[in-house]
């Protein structure tokens, strides 16, 4: 990001309880930002790491946090789809291959935060209907023109559809919303019988994040990451999940876990090598987490 951009200044700050379990018991995890102005705390109950105090979640915050995404969407062209790096389309094809073993009906698939439509592109050959949900009209129009897949420009909380989905996919979206419990309850109402919900999120207890945190605590690293030296950068992740916290969240909201593991973009199902199985399925220490769940019966 350009250093010439003005520094982001929140309209106000708010203290919040844990977004997963609503506990008010926490301890300081780390500070970050150009002036260490942002704070992550660790929930004593479910282990979630979350911002508190945090910038008030309003239009000013949203515009600042997602300015780059909106700018990218405004300038996208049809040729951009064919120029996505290999890890884009190929990653989602591998993920779909893994998900098909859990989704036996394969009737309709919803991708929340559909972006350029790469997941929809991978899912389309296997489903009778695929649908995207996004916040950018430009990105939605791009996907519709390029793939012929409808994309609704709407917040998930307000989204309604006459068809039940056998698959709902949320990839690196949940950590951006202030109401994760509401989202999981909403998803239950939109899933078909035996339908599956897929939640992909960052893994705050991954090996790489853990090492960064240790360096920070030892004073060997001034910032949580070098990118936070830019004062215009906005903390769009309202919380950072852990395996324990995710288990707590899905159980609280009435889901059974069908599978869960950490993963990398090169191996989204964590099944391509012995090393990947040990790191991601055994230790669950990869940089991302995937939870494949279904409503309890």
Rounded to whole angstroms, the maximal C-alpha distance in the chain is 55
CATH topology for 86-202+251-297 is Rossmann fold (3.40.50)
Binned at pLDDT 50, 70 and 90, residue 263 comes out as: very high
CA–CA gap between residue 153 and residue 159 (Å, rounded): 9
Contact 132, 114 (CB under 8 A): yes
Question: How many CA within 13 A on the CB side of residue 168?
Answer: 28
Average of per-residue pLDDT values in the chain: 92
Domain spans of the chain? Answer: 1-65+204-240, 86-202+251-297
Binned at pLDDT 50, 70 and 90, residue 1 comes out as: very low
Binned at pLDDT 50, 70 and 90, residue 222 comes out as: low
CA distances from 204 to 116, 208, 228, 268 (A): 26, 9, 17, 17
Dihedrals phi, psi of 167, to nearest 5 degrees: -145, 125
Lowest mean pLDDT among 68-72, 198-202, 258-262: 68-72
The pLDDT value recorded for residue 145 is: 87
Question: How many CA within 13 A on the CB side of residue 252?
Answer: 17
Q: What is the mean pLDDT of residues 160-183?
A: 97
CA 101 to chain centre: 22
Lowest mean pLDDT among 68-82, 184-198, 276-290: 68-82
The pLDDT value recorded for residue 172 is: 96
Contact 210, 7 (CB under 8 A): no
CA–CA gap between residue 275 and residue 273 (Å, rounded): 5
Question: Which residues are within 8 A (CB) of 65 and not within 5 positions of it... i.e. 6 or more apart?
Answer: 176, 234, 235, 236
**Strands (DSSP E) along the chain, which ranges?**
13-14, 26-32, 38-43, 49-51, 54-55, 108-112, 129-134, 151-153, 165-171, 191-202, 239-240, 255-263, 288-295
pTM of the model: 0.93
Residue 224 has pLDDT above 70, yes or no: no
The pLDDT value recorded for residue 82 is: 63
Question: How many CA within 13 A on the CB side of residue 62?
Answer: 9
Question: Which residues are within 8 A (CB) of 24 and not within 5 positions of it... i.e. 6 or more apart?
Answer: 17, 18
Which DSSP letter does residue 89 get? H
**Residues 84-137: tens digit of each pLDDT:** 544 478 899 999 999 999 999 999 999 999 998 999 999 999 999 999 999 989
Environment class of 2 (CB within 10 Å of its CB; exposed 0-12, middle 13-18, buried 19+): exposed
Share of the chain above pLDDT 90, in %: 74
CA distances from 47 to 14, 16, 107, 173 (A): 20, 15, 36, 20
């Amino acid at each position: 990001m350009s250093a010439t951009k003005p520094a982001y200044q929140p309209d106000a700050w708010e203290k919040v309880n844990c977004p997963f379990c609503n506990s008010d018991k926490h301890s300081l995890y780390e500070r970050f930002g150009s002036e260490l102005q942002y704070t992550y705390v660790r929930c004593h109950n479910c282990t979630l790491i979350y911002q508190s105090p945090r910038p008030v979640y309003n239009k000013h915050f949203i515009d600042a946090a997602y300015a780059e995404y909106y700018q990218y969407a405004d300038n996208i062209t049809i040729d951009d789809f064919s120029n996505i790096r290999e890890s884009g389309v190929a990653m989602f094809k591998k993920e779909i291959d893994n998900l098909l073993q859990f989704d036996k009906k394969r009737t309709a698939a919803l991708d929340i935060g559909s972006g350029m439509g790469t997941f929809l592109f991978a899912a389309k050959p296997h489903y009778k209907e695929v649908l995207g949900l996004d916040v950018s009209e430009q990105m939605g129009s791009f996907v519709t023109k390029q793939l012929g897949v409808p994309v609704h420009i709407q917040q998930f909380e307000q989204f309604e559809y006459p068809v039940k989905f056998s698959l709902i996919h949320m990839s690196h979206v949940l950590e951006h919303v202030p109401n994760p419990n509401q989202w999981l309850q909403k998803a239950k109402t939109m899933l078909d019988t035996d339908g599956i919900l897929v939640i992909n999120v960052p893994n705050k207890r991954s090996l790489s994040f853990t090492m960064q945190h240790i360096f920070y605590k030892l004073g060997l690293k001034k910032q949580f990451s070098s990118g936070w030296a830019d004062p215009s950068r906005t903390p769009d992740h309202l919380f950072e999940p852990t395996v324990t916290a995710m288990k707590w969240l899905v159980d609280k909201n009435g889901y059974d876990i069908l599978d869960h593991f950490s993963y990398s973009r090169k191996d989204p199902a964590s099944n391509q090598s012995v090393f990947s199985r040990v790191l991601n399925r055994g230790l669950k220490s990869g940089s991302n987490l995937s939870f494949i769940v279904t409503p309890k019966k």
